[in-house]
Amino acid sequence: MRKLISNGTIVNEGRTFKGNIVIENDRIIEISEHTTPRGTYDECVDATGCFVLPGVIDAHVHFREPGMEEKADIESETRAAAYGGVTSYFEMPNTSPQTTSIEALNDKFQRASRSSHINYSFFFGATNANCELIRHLDVHSVPGVKLFMGSSTGNMLVDRLGVLDEIFATSAAVGLPIMTHCEDSNIINANMKAAKERYGDDPDLTLHHKIRSEEACYRSSALAVDLALKHKTQLHIAHLSTARELELLNVPNAKHYVTLEAVIAHLLFTNDDYTTLGGLIKCNPSIKTLADRTELRKALADGRISTIGTDHAPHLLAQKQGGAAKATSGMPMIQFSLVAILELVDKGVLTIERMVELMAHAPAHRFQVNERGFLRPNYKADIAIVRPNSPWQVTEDIIQSKCKWSPLQGHCFNWKVEHTFCNGVHLLNKDVFNATPRGEKLSFR
Nearer to Zn ion, 10 or 260 (CB): 260
Nearer to Zn ion, 31 or 182 (CB): 182
Q: Which range binds Zn ion by CB under 5 A, 4-12, 200-208, 283-291, 311-319?
A: 311-319
Which region among 307-315, 360-368, 413-421, 434-442 touches Zn ion (by CB under 5 A)? 307-315
- Write down the least CB distance from residue 261 to Zn ion, Å: 10
Q: From CA 439, how far away is CA 445, in angstroms rounded?
A: 19
If the CB atoms of residues 50 and 182 are measured against Zn ion, the closer one turns out to be 182
Listed ranges 41-49, 72-80, 304-312, 388-396: which one lies at the site for Zn ion (CB under 5 A): 304-312
Query: Which residues within the stretch 125-184 sit at the binding site for Zn ion (CB under 5 A)?
Result: none
Q: How far is the CB of 64 from Zn ion (least distance, A)?
A: 12
- Is residue 342 within 8 A of residue 415, CB to CB? The reply is yes
Question: Of 149, 146, 145, 144, which Cα lies nearest the Cα of 160?
Answer: 149
Return the exposure string of 318-340: e unless at least 16 CB atoms fall within 10 Å of the residue's CB, then b.
Answer: ebbebbbbebbbbbbbbbbbbbb
- Residues 326 to 365 in contact with Zn ion, rule: CB under 5 A: none
**Between 295 and 311, whose beta carbon lies closer to Zn ion?**
311
Q: How far is the CB of 263 from Zn ion (least distance, A)?
A: 8
Q: How far is the CB of 330 from Zn ion (least distance, A)?
A: 7
* 393-412 residues near Zn ion, rule: CB under 5 A: none
Nearest distance in Å: CB 60, Zn ion: 6
| H-run or E-run covering 390 | none
Q: Please tell me the distance from the alpha carbon of residue 180 to that of residue 232, in angstroms, as a whole number.
A: 15
Looking at the Cβ atoms of 307 and 420, the one nearer to Zn ion is 307
CB of 380 vs Zn ion, minimal distance in Å: 26
Identity of the residue, 56 or 385, whose beta carbon is nearer to Zn ion in the bound complex? 56
Residues counted in the chain: 445
* Closest CB 59 distance from Zn ion, rounded Å: 10
**Can you say how many angstroms the Cα of residue 245 is from the centroid of all Cα atoms in its chain?**
19
Report the nearest approach of Zn ion to the CB of residue 238 (Å).
6
Candidates 213-221, 305-313, 340-348, 391-399; binding stretch for Zn ion (CB under 5 A): 305-313
Please, what is the Cα angle at 132 between 89 and 69, to 5 degrees? 35
Instruction: Give the CA diameter of the chain.
Output: 74
Q: Which is nearer to Zn ion, 345 or 362 (by Cβ)?
A: 362
- The minimum distance between CB 37 and Zn ion, in angstroms, equals 42
Q: Which stretch binds Zn ion (CB under 5 A): 5-13, 71-79, 113-121, 308-316?
A: 308-316
- Give the number of other CB atoms < 10 A from CB of residue 3: 21
Cβ-closest position to Zn ion? 311
Report 67-96 residues binding Zn ion (CB under 5 A).
Answer: none
Cα 397 to Cα 19, 138, 289, 389, 403, distances in angstroms: 34, 40, 32, 22, 12
Nearer to Zn ion among residue 62 and residue 209 (C-beta): 62
For Zn ion, the closer CB: 266 or 419? 266
Which residue's CB is nearer to Zn ion, number 61 or number 172? 61
* Preceding amide of 391 cis, omega within 30: no
Question: Is residue 311 close enough to count as binding Zn ion by CB under 5 A?
Answer: yes
DSSP-assigned states of every residue in 11-74: EETTEEEEEEEEEETTEEEEEESSS---S--SEEEE-TT-EEEEPEEEEEE---TTT-TTT--H
Residue type, 51: F
Question: Which stretch in 109-117, 152-160, 250-258, 310-318 sits in contact with Zn ion by CB under 5 A?
Answer: 310-318
Strands 383-387 and 392-393: unpaired
Q: Give the closest residue to 312 by CA, choosing from 135, 140, 74, 61.
A: 61
Contacts of Zn ion in 377-396 (CB under 5 A): none
DSSP-assigned letter for residue 128? S
Is cis: bond before 377, omega within 30 of 0? no
Size of the site for Zn ion (CB under 5 A): 1
- Whether residue 40 contacts residue 49, with contact meaning beta carbons closer than 8 Å, is answered with no
Q: In the complex with Zn ion, which residue's Cβ is closer, 75 or 311? A: 311
Q: Which stretch binds Zn ion (CB under 5 A): 266-274, 303-311, 373-381, 391-399?
A: 303-311
Contact residues for 156 (Cβ-Cβ < 8 A; gap 6+) = 93, 94, 98, 100, 125, 126, 127, 148
Give residues in contact with Zn ion (CB under 5 A).
Answer: 311
